[in-house]
């Protein structure tokens, strides 16, 4: 198992280098990818472009630029500087992480509790009104893009522009350390919006998986032997949860994509919003930094999920 984990970590690092290379190359081959041209205004004179390229180090060979970048990232965890604000990308990201972590963790908790809870209840009462209602709602949430859902939530429930002025609206985020209650209330809508889609997927998956499991012979045997129903269900849930855990790793990626949209709609100053502005401004250093962070997040999450998978299902062993 230890060897497996070490191997996964090494692969993770290799993958990060590949992601680095891909983002580096992609943004430099895009026709709009030369920040010097963008920086030179709408009448970009060749001399000015050349000077800006020199100042930003963009006139060096691509391989040199990439090697410098890689060295800085791997040896010093230096992600470079924003072309616009001149601030260190590392500090920009570090500063933006708490809101994104707040959003992501809260949403993940909601979607796990909500998704699994609804899935289990639906599976235990299949074809009931509750089941049909819950699965219908799940379908709606799966189909609804986060951006749209966020707008609907704001127009319905935001205290400034909503029909029912219940929750703080866009731009109301305050850090946890500043005011825990305001932090909590400002994130209620974003949590629900971000969690809705994933919770719906998890609910449907859990329902299907549990219904199948509860039809298994060993469940029937357990019941026949008089095992308490609560324990039977617990056994069934544990057996059904493997596909959920597998999906969890994949959903982390979706979560980050969703966080970008939700942070934009609710104006939460997190990494997603940072990435959004960087894309708009073609601020490559920042884009690369946020992509790298996202990749790292997904890789780590997948390693954790794989280990958790082995823990949950003793039949799974890694060599």
Beta carbon of residue 319, minimum distance to other proteins (angstroms, whole number): 46
Which range in 16-24, 49-57, 62-70, 307-315 contacts other proteins by CB under 8 A? 49-57
Q: Which of residues 108-147 bind other proteins (CB under 8 A)?
A: 147
Give the whole-angstrom CA distance, residue 128 versus residue 213: 19
Give the whole-angstrom CA distance, residue 43 versus residue 96: 34
Give the whole-angstrom CA distance, residue 119 versus residue 211: 10
Burial class of residue 217 in the structure, from the number of CB atoms within 10 Å of its CB (0-12 exposed, 13-18 middle, 19+ buried): exposed
Beta carbon of residue 33, minimum distance to other proteins (angstroms, whole number): 9
Instruction: Kindly report the backbone phi and psi dihedral angles of residue 88, in degrees, each rounded to the nearest multiple of 5, phi listed first.
Output: -60, 135
Cα dihedral 185, 191, 193, 199, rounded to 10, equals: -140
Beta carbon of residue 50, minimum distance to other proteins (angstroms, whole number): 9
Q: Within 10 A of 162 (CB to CB), how many other CB atoms are there? A: 16
Could you say which of 9, 45, 139, 234 contacts other proteins (CB under 8 A)?
45
Output 151 or 303, the one with its CB closest to other proteins. 151
Using alpha carbons, select from 142, 318, 319, 310 the residue that is nearest to residue 242: 310
Coil, strand, or helix at residue 81? Answer: strand
Q: Which of residues 10-39 bind other proteins (CB under 8 A)?
A: 30-32, 34, 37-39
Q: Within 10 A of 260 (CB to CB), how many other CB atoms are there? A: 21
Angle at the Cα of 294 (from 292 to 297), degrees rounded to 5?
A: 110
If one asks whether residue 82 binds other proteins (CB under 8 A), the answer comes out as yes
If one asks whether residue 166 binds other proteins (CB under 8 A), the answer comes out as no
Could you say which of 73, 123, 170, 259 contacts other proteins (CB under 8 A)?
170
Tell me, residue by residue from 212 to 251, as one string, x for binding to other proteins by CB under 8 A and - for no binding: ----------------------------------------
The length of the chain is 319
Angle at the Cα of 267 (from 85 to 113), degrees rounded to 5?
A: 125
CA dist 25 to 67, 88, 270, 283, Å?
12, 21, 26, 14
If one asks whether residue 152 binds other proteins (CB under 8 A), the answer comes out as no
How many residues form the binding site for other proteins (CB under 8 A)? 54
Please say whether the beta carbons of 263 and 100 come within 8 A: yes
Beta carbon of residue 260, minimum distance to other proteins (angstroms, whole number): 10
Could you say which of 171, 180, 243, 257 contacts other proteins (CB under 8 A)?
171
Beta carbon of residue 281, minimum distance to other proteins (angstroms, whole number): 7
Tell me, residue by residue from 277 to 306, as one string, x for binding to other proteins by CB under 8 A and - for no binding: x-xxxx------------------------
Applying CB under 8 A, which residues contact other proteins? 30-32, 34, 37-49, 51-52, 54-57, 82-87, 92, 96, 147, 150-151, 154-155, 160-161, 169-171, 264-267, 269, 273-274, 276-277, 279-282
């Amino acid at each position: 198992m230890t060897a497996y984990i070490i191997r996964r970590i090494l692969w993770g690092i290799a993958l990060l280098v590949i992601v680095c290379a891909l983002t580096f190359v992609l943004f430099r081959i895009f026709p709009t990818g030369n920040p010097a041209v963008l920086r030179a205004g709408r009448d970009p004179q060749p001399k000015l472009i050349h000077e800006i390229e020199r100042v930003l180090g963009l006139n060096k060979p691509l391989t040199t630029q990439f090697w410098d970048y890689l060295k800085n990232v791997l040896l010093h965890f230096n992600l470079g500087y924003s072309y616009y604000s001149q601030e260190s990308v590392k500090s920009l990201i570090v500063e933006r992480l708490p809101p994104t972590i707040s959003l992501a963790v809260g949403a993940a908790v909601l979607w796990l509790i909500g998704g699994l809870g609804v899935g289990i209840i639906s599976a235990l009462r299949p074809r009931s009104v509750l089941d049909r209602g819950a699965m219908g709602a799940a379908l709606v949430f799966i189909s609804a893009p986060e951006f749209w859902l966020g707008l609907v939530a704001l127009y319905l429930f935001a205290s400034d522009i909503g029909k029912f002025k219940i929750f703080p609206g866009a731009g109301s985020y305050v850090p946890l350390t500043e005011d825990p209650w305001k932090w909590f209330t400002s994130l209620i809508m974003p949590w629900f919006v971000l969690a809705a889609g994933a919770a719906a997927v998890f609910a449907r998956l859990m329902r299907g998986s549990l219904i199948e499991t509860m039809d298994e012979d060993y469940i029937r045997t357990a019941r026949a032997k008089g095992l308490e129903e609560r324990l039977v269900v617990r056994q069934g849930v544990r057996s059904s949860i493997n596909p959920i855990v597998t999906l969890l790793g994949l959903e982390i990626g979706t979560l980050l994509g969703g966080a970008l949209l939700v942070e934009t709609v609710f104006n939460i100053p997190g990494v997603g919003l940072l990435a959004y502005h960087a894309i708009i401004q073609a601020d490559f250093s920042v884009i690369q930094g946020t992509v790298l962070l996202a990749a790292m997040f997904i890789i780590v999450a997948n390693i954790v999920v794989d280990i958790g998978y082995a823990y949950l299902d003793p039949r799974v062993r890694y060599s």
